[in-house]
Amino acid sequence: VPEDAWYAEAVRWAAGEGIAVGYVDGTFGPGDPVLREQLAVMLYRYARYEGCDMSVGEDTNILSYVDFADLSEYAIPAMQWACGTGIVNGIGGGALAPHSTATRAQAAAMLQKFCQR
């Protein structure tokens, strides 16, 4: 992330707190689209940072989603939590679509549900 970017301080803070860790190669890709599972992971990590009860989704069965196997391993606890809290709902035909780009509408809905919980 360029030092003089308007979002640089936010990225530094999020990285320092373990909320956004970037890609495996250490980059953040601030202009890249955000995947549904990536957004769920960042909300999950922020909720944990804030001391929220993270056991909410422990009993949620996300195995029933048709594309459960498509989830990245690191995102499974976050998606289970997000589904259990109602932050994430399946789309068309009971799919999580974890590797689909979060549309503006989906991101707004997830953020609103997160703030309301």
- The rounded distance, in Å, linking the Cα atoms of 17 and 33 is 22
pTM (two decimals): 0.92
Match 């999020």 to its residue by tokens.
14
State residue 74's pLDDT score: 94
List alpha helices for the chain, DSSP H: 8-16, 36-49, 76-85, 104-116
In this predicted model, what pLDDT tens digit does every residue of 29-81 receive, in sequence order?
Answer: 989 999 999 999 999 999 999 999 888 877 788 988 999 999 999 999 999 99
In this predicted model, what pLDDT tens digit does every residue of 81-97 receive, in sequence order?
Answer: 999 999 998 898 799 99
- The rounded distance, in Å, linking the Cα atoms of 34 and 101 is 6
With contact defined as beta carbons under 8 Å apart, do 71 and 41 qualify?
no
How is residue 30 written in tokens?
Answer: 């601030």
